[in-house]
Homo-oligomer: A and B are copies of this chain.
Amino acid sequence: MLRWCHKIVEIVVLRLGHRASRDKRVTSHVCLVARAFGASEVIIAGDEDPTIESTVKKIVERWGGNFKVSFTQNPLAVINEWKRRGGIVIHLTMYGVNLPDIIKDIKASPKPKMVIVGAEKVPREIYDVADYNVAIGNQPHSEIAALAITLDRLMDSLWSRISFNNAKLKIIPSLRGKKVKYIR
């Protein structure tokens, strides 16, 4: 299992409430979106789930980069440690302040950012400990979508031009079909 690495990184994602029986695919999507949209790691608070680690590992082996996933049983300790080290904490919730109303404030800070995405029920302490409780619209939808839009805005659409070291293959964008370049 990978451990949470205590170096400061620009954006990490904390996924709250993973249950291996139910959340496997949604949590996998959270991890892949985090990577493709420019975050450096996901910390999962919940069941330790080797299939998530294996999915992420396979993606990194083929598509490159240093993206990491790890698990914790104590998300509040992880959050408090992040804050103690000078990071800011953004909790995505449909009850929060709408992203367009707060994004300038958040982006004005050069501090590393932790973006928290929850499963269905998020404990009250998370709302209290977060520097920002932020909504991607105030309708129920998806933490995967909320994370994508947040990273899109925080990283100025980095997803559209991101590239990763040590990739074994690369897509050549095309209007029809699938063009893939294999890299030795």
B-side contacts of A177, CB under 8 Å = 95, 124, 127, 133
How many chain copies does the complex carry? Answer: 2
The reply to whether B127 and A176 form a contact with Cβ atoms under 8 Å apart is: yes
Report the stretch among A5-13, A79-87, A106-114, A140-148 that lies at the interface: A140-148
CB < 8 Å neighbour of A133 from B25, B133, B164, B174:
B174
CB < 8 Å neighbour of A95 from B26, B101, B138, B178:
B178
The reply to whether B139 and A35 form a contact with Cβ atoms under 8 Å apart is: yes
Within A116-142, which residues are at the interface with B (CB < 8 Å)? 124, 127-128, 132-133, 135-142
CB < 8 Å neighbour of A139 from B23, B36, B97, B147:
B36
B-side contacts of A124, CB under 8 Å = 177
Report the stretch among A40-48, A68-76, A155-163 that lies at the interface: A155-163
B-side contacts of A136, CB under 8 Å = 159-160
Nearest chain-B residue to A34 (Cβ)? B141
Within A152-184, which residues are at the interface with B (CB < 8 Å)? 152, 157, 159-160, 162, 164, 170-171, 173-180
List residues of chain A with CB under 8 Å of any chain B CB. Answer: 22-23, 25-26, 29, 32-33, 35-37, 59, 63, 94-101, 124, 127-128, 132-133, 135-142, 144-145, 147-149, 152, 157, 159-160, 162, 164, 170-171, 173-180
Shortest 4 CB-CB contacts between residues of A and residues of B: A145-B148, A29-B142, A138-B171, A36-B141
